[in-house]
Structure formats: C-alpha cells, structure tokens
Amino acid sequence: MTDRLKLAWTQSAPDHLVVQAQAFVEEWLLRLLPTRDAPPARLHGAMHDAVFPGGRRARPLLCRLVADSYGGGDDEMVGRLAAAIELVHCASLVQDDLPCFDDAATRRGQPACHVVYGEATAILVGDALLTLAFETLANAPVRRAPVAFRLMGLLTAAAGSSHGVIGGQALELEPHPVELEIYHRHKTAALFRAAAAGGAICCGAESDVSRWSRIGELIGCALQLRDDMEDVGGNAADLGKPAGRDAALGRPNAALQVGMDGCQHKRAEVIDAVRELLGPPTTETEALHRLVEEVTRPAVRQAG
Amino acid sequence: MTDRLKLAWTQSAPDHLVVQAQAFVEEWLLRLLPTRDAPPARLHGAMHDAVFPGGRRARPLLCRLVADSYGGGDDEMVGRLAAAIELVHCASLVQDDLPCFDDAATRRGQPACHVVYGEATAILVGDALLTLAFETLANAPVRRAPVAFRLMGLLTAAAGSSHGVIGGQALELEPHPVELEIYHRHKTAALFRAAAAGGAICCGAESDVSRWSRIGELIGCALQLRDDMEDVGGNAADLGKPAGRDAALGRPNAALQVGMDGCQHKRAEVIDAVRELLGPPTTETEALHRLVEEVTRPAVRQAG
C-alpha cells in the first residue's frame, strides 16, 4: 500500500474497524505463505514479493467487513477465505504484468515479478499462489469441512475459465470484441462477489448470500470503472504502474468507450445501487460504507 | 495416445480391466471440461487440445485401478479425482513446453499449445486446467463433502510449491544444484502418490493409505527414470516430443548423472520394490501389476 493510500484510510472516524480488518488480513496472508527460506527458496521469495507489500486489499477487506457486520463469524474461516481471495488476485496481477499480457515493468511502484525473477519464475509464482489459495481452504480444520467445501466451490468458480478471473483474462484474447460489462464481471467483479458472499457464508447467513453477491459484484464494477478512468487520465507516478495501457493494448476500457464523463456517471449510479442495497449506515455497516467510499474514490489527481 | 502405445496396451490378457479404466478416465475428463464452444471459446478450445488426445493417462489409471482393487469404491469420487489429477498433469505439460521453460515445439506428436495459440493463451490454459482440477472436487455432490475435502488437501499438496509439481518445476530454476531424488519426488512422484492414496481414500481404505502413497511414489520414480533414459537415448519421432532437452537445458537427469546402465539398474530396483509392496498378482491386483509393467517399460527402440 502506498503511503498516500494509507493516509487516506486513517484520516476519518470509523476507521479503527478498517485498520483492524487490514491487520487481520495481513496476519493471515503471512501465516499462510511458506516462509521465504523454505525450499524452493527462490520461488517462495518471489511469492512473498508478489503479496507484500500489498495494495488496498479491497477484496479481503470486503470479506472481513461483511463478516464483521454479523458480529465477526468464524474467524478462522474468514481469515482463510479472505487470504485465499487475495492470493488469487495477486496471482492474476503477476500474470497480467508478463510480457505476453500487459508487458508492465512496474507494479505497486516496484519492479514487476518477471523483471526481478524472470518469466519462468513469475509464471510459477502465479501457479503457486493460485494453488495455495485453494490449499488454504483445504487445510482448514476438519470440523470446518462443510463450510470449507462450500467456500472452495465459490472460489474455484470466481477464479475459473467460465465465469471467473481466468475467463476474464482470456476474453482479452478472443478474436471478436467482447462486451465490456461481461469482461468486467469476470475479470474484476467475480472475486468481489465471492468475497462478500463468502463473508456471509462464514457467518451462517445463508439467506443473505445472494444480496451480498450482488453488493460484491457492484463494488467490483465501481472499482473497475475507477481503474479504467485512471488508466486513461492518470499517470504512472500516482498509480505505481504504467498508465495508458488499455489504449496501447486494445483492451476494453469504459472510459475509452463512453468517455470520462460517461464513466463517472456510470460509476456514481453503481455506487448508489450499492448504498441502497447496504441501507443507511448503522453500527454494523458503517465500516462497509467507508470501504465502498474508499475503494471507489477517484485517484487524487483526478478528484483535485 | 499414439497408436504404438495403444497397441501395446491391448495385446495381452487382463487388459479389459485397463481398457475399461481408460474409457472411464476419458469419459470423466470429457464430462468435466467446458465444451469447446462455451465462451471464452478460444481458451476452452485450447484446453481441449491440451487434454485430448491424451498420453498414457498413467496417473488417473493408477487411481482407478487402486480403487478397482477394492471392488471399485465410490465411482463419482474416483472419476473426479482421477480427472483432476490428469488436469494438473496436463497443465504442467503445457507450461513445461513454454519458451521460457523447455521451449518445446511439439508434445504428443502435435504442435505444443503455445505454438498453436500463443504464449498468453497457453499460460491461461495452465491456470484454467489447474483451477478446474480443484473445481472438479469442489463440485462433488454435497453428501460427498468430507471425502472431497480430504482429496482436496491431497491434491493441493501434490500440485503445490512446497512438495508438489510446481515446487518441482521451481527446483529447475534454483541457483544451486538440486538433489535428483528430491526433484523427481516433487515433479513426478507427487501426483502418483496422490493418485494411489486417493484411490484408496475413495474406498474408505484409510489404513492402507500410507502403503499406497509409497507405491504411487515408487511408480512415479520408475516412470521418471524411464523418461530420463528416453530423453538421453531416444529420438523425437518415437517420443512425440524433442529428445536431448535435459542436457541442452542443464536439467537434472538420472541417465546423465549415473549413465544408462546405472539408470536401468536403479529402475529395476524401484520396480522390484513396487512389486514387493503390491504382493503377488491376484484377481484384485493383476491390472495394477500390468499398469506398472506398462508405464515403466522402456521405449521400443531402446528395448529392441
């Protein structure tokens, strides 16, 4: 996380909940990753660099805060799921940066994985983080097997080729142009869906799962709209990664398709829909409202 | 499977069991893969090409035949596990062939995945097959959740970075030379271990799991010793893939380290150990003995 973002998080009131949730996510990630020096040490070192320091951790935070809105749920399963979701996300970032995908030399302000370790290790980092994500659920205590099994179904679908992140990356390579909304739903919203729905499942709130899925999906869409605007209107120094990549690579981008104003408008609509589904802020949902505000906020330069 | 291998399989007596098991494996693989035209169709087409036509299917056959030795076990879970293990194996082959790994243009006598579809799609095929493997277990019927959960732990470990296939691939990239046995145990034997142990788990044969793990591991080692000998003494036309790659790439290879005779000797020792653990052929284990003979048999040119 860049210092600028950290500062934004800690400036206002109900943030102690968010800060607690962030610490929880970092702790679980660190607990689950093999140590840097465990063989093969080169691979495990590269995995650490791909996960720490993190970005906003928006997906695992969403998972944790949804569970918090029910009083916390099963900490062990919330921790495992939150970390697993972030591991899938980190795997997708390492892969996105490869020369044959986005060919991005920097990520989160640091050299990209393949720049430091080479392409072969970067590809293995992607595989290993993806496998670790599922292993994290498979290694839950046996008495949690029914919930772990359920969450495994949720996470494999959110990552997979038909409706998940991998399918979203593949849509970039299809010979025919793809519909922007479907692309966003796969590539970004799928993990947010799983994060929100999974947080509720860890609390036994089965009847609320479809509502949380929808909330997660909308938050993911809002975030992607913001990312699209940043790619078009931002600069590398602020973003910690190259800007203008979508146009250069011919990738679907909402700001390129409907313009910055149209994109802003659409994003406002999506955020309104999230707020309506969340209802007015209460003690239980205040931190979630804060998260939505934070992860969908325009980049500093654009807002200023 | 090449015609030569198919012929070898069907020439002798108890092979109807092996042929039945092969058909079972192909059927489950076909059932679990998304259809070629399901979007994203380019990716799903490439996944089919990476899985069909197969090679020997040694790993899923081992799983099926171990279960058969108990009378068959839970067909649904045997089918899912056998297919999942083969999917992980196919993912690793697609990746091994990439330019930044072995840079092999052919596989099973056909152009390699990245040659036909490009590197980006080939990398996604690897991710997607890996994820589908775990999804296959996660999508088992809910009443099988306890077994599916157990198998998920087995398979994620067999694929993972610490003791599995991905760890084995990473050992090739470590700055210091690696011990050959550890390399083989990760890269090849881990999936055979899981196949044999998992077959027993699907039959509730908990007390036999460690024996089957050992048998699986030894079969995997014997197969790898044969592959090492083929790489040194074989030719591309027989192998359906380039020969002499280990020397060219500086990869650990038993035949290069101890010579063809030493390798032959070691392989015979390993196969003896497997036979001792299996015990004399009975109606229950005859097909397994046949599998061991078949998958560890030297390539035709070397034997002739």
Give residues with Cβ within 8 angstroms of B272, minimum separation 6: none
- CA distances to A59, A73, A214, A300 from A270, rounded to whole Å, are 17, 28, 11, 20
Give residues with Cβ within 8 angstroms of A289, minimum separation 6: A275, A278, A281
DSSP state of A106: E
Range of the domain at B158: 3-295
Q: With an 8 Å Cβ cutoff, are B160 and A132 in contact?
A: yes
Contact A186, B40 (CB under 8 A): no
pLDDT of the residue at A1:
41
Q: What is the CATH number of the domain that holds A100?
A: 1.10.600.10
Query: Is A164 an 8 Å CB contact of chain B?
Result: yes
To which H or E segment does residue B111 belong? strand B110-111
Query: Is A279 an 8 Å CB contact of chain B?
Result: no
* Dist CA A212 CA A81 (whole Å): 15
Tell me, yes or no, whether B301 lies in a domain.
Answer: no
B32, two tokens: 């679990």
* Dist CA B82 CA B41 (whole Å): 25
pLDDT of the residue at A299:
53
**Can you give the pLDDT of all 304 residues of chain A as single tens digits?**
444 444 455 455 457 888 899 999 999 999 999 999 999 999 999 999 999 999 999 999 999 999 999 999 899 999 999 999 999 999 999 999 999 999 999 998 899 999 999 999 999 999 999 999 999 999 999 999 999 999 999 999 999 999 999 999 999 898 888 888 899 999 999 999 999 999 999 999 999 999 999 999 999 999 999 999 998 988 887 777 788 888 888 888 999 999 999 999 999 999 999 999 999 999 999 999 999 988 877 654 443 3
Q: With an 8 Å Cβ cutoff, are B123 and A98 in contact?
A: yes
Q: What is the signed CA dihedral for B119, B122, B124, B129, rounded to 10 degrees?
A: -170
Place of tokens 């600028």: A4
The 10s digit of each residue's pLDDT in B152-163 is 999 999 999 999
Place of tokens 């079972």: B24
Between positions 85 and 144 of A, the ones with CB within 8 A of B are 91, 95, 98, 100-101, 118-121, 123-124, 126-128, 130-132, 134-135, 137-139, 142
- A177–chain B nearest CA distance, Å: 11
* Dist CA A192 CA A185 (whole Å): 10
Lowest mean pLDDT, pick from A37-51, A186-200, B137-151, B281-295: B281-295
Contact B128, A88 (CB under 8 A): no
Tell me, yes or no, whether B168 lies in a domain.
Answer: yes
Query: Is A30 an 8 Å CB contact of chain B?
Result: no
* Dist CA A179 CA A177 (whole Å): 7
pLDDT of the residue at B261:
92
Burial (Cβ within 10 Å: 0-12, 13-18, ≥19) of residue A3: exposed
Residue A159 has, within 13 A of its CA and on its CB side, a CA count of 37
Sign of the dihedral defined by the CA atoms of residues A238, A166, A251, A274, in that order? negative
B-chain residues near A155 (CB < 8 A):
138
Cα-trace Rg, chain A: 18
Supply φ then ψ for residue A110, to 5 degrees.
-115, 165
pLDDT at B243 over 90: no
- CA distances to A13, A93, A264, B65, B219 from B192, rounded to whole Å, are 55, 31, 54, 12, 7
Query: Is B161 an 8 Å CB contact of chain A?
Result: yes
Q: With an 8 Å Cβ cutoff, are A130 and B127 in contact?
A: yes
Q: With an 8 Å Cβ cutoff, are A47 and B137 in contact?
A: no
Tell me, yes or no, whether A67 lies in a domain.
Answer: yes
Q: With an 8 Å Cβ cutoff, are A135 and B160 in contact?
A: yes
- A159–chain B nearest CA distance, Å: 7
Cβ neighbours of A247 (radius 10 Å): 13
A101, two tokens: 């995908």
Query: Is B170 an 8 Å CB contact of chain A?
Result: yes
Contact B56, B1 (CB under 8 A): yes
Tell me, yes or no, whether A302 lies in a domain.
Answer: no
**Mean pLDDT across the stretch B62-89?**
96
Q: With an 8 Å Cβ cutoff, are B40 and A171 in contact?
A: yes
Q: With an 8 Å Cβ cutoff, are A173 and B43 in contact?
A: yes
Higher pLDDT, B299 or B144: B144
For chain A, helix (H) and strand (E) counts, in that order, are 17, 2
The number of angstroms, rounded, from the C-alpha of B198 to the middle of its chain's C-alpha atoms is: 14
Q: With an 8 Å Cβ cutoff, are B128 and A166 in contact?
A: yes
Give residues with Cβ within 8 angstroms of B293, minimum separation 6: none
- Which of B40, B95, B169 minimises the CB distance to A167? B40
To which H or E segment does residue A107 belong? strand A106-107
Place of tokens 């080729």: A161
A228, two tokens: 């699209």
Q: With an 8 Å Cβ cutoff, are A145 and B142 in contact?
A: no
Tell me, yes or no, whether B69 lies in a domain.
Answer: yes
pLDDT of the residue at B297:
78
Identify the three-state secondary structure at position B1.
Answer: coil
Tell me, yes or no, whether A175 lies in a domain.
Answer: yes
The 10s digit of each residue's pLDDT in B189-235 is 999 999 999 999 999 999 999 999 999 999 999 999 999 999 898 88
**Mean pLDDT across the stretch B35-54?**
96
- A293–chain B nearest CA distance, Å: 32
B220, two tokens: 């995997």
The number of angstroms, rounded, from the C-alpha of B146 to the middle of its chain's C-alpha atoms is: 25
Among the listed residues A292, A163, A269, the one whose alpha carbon sits nearest the alpha carbon of residue A215: A292
Contact B156, A135 (CB under 8 A): yes
Structural domains counted in chain B: 1
What number is the ipTM of this complex?
0.93
For chain B, helix (H) and strand (E) counts, in that order, are 17, 2
Residue B227 has, within 13 A of its CA and on its CB side, a CA count of 20
Most distant pair of Cα atoms in chain B: their distance: 52
Q: With an 8 Å Cβ cutoff, are A34 and B162 in contact?
A: yes
Sign of the dihedral defined by the CA atoms of residues A137, A138, A141, A142, in that order? positive
- B177–chain A nearest CA distance, Å: 11
pLDDT of the residue at B299:
53
Tell me, yes or no, whether A304 lies in a domain.
Answer: no
- CA distances to A10, B20, B121, B254 from B290, rounded to whole Å, are 66, 14, 38, 25
Give residues with Cβ within 8 angstroms of A103, minimum separation 6: A97
To which H or E segment does residue B19 belong? helix B15-32
Contact A218, A273 (CB under 8 A): yes
- CA distances to B57, B82, B121, B192, B291 from B60, rounded to whole Å, are 6, 4, 25, 9, 11
Tell me, yes or no, whether A301 lies in a domain.
Answer: no
Among the listed residues B71, B94, B73, B91, the one whose alpha carbon sits nearest the alpha carbon of residue B83: B91
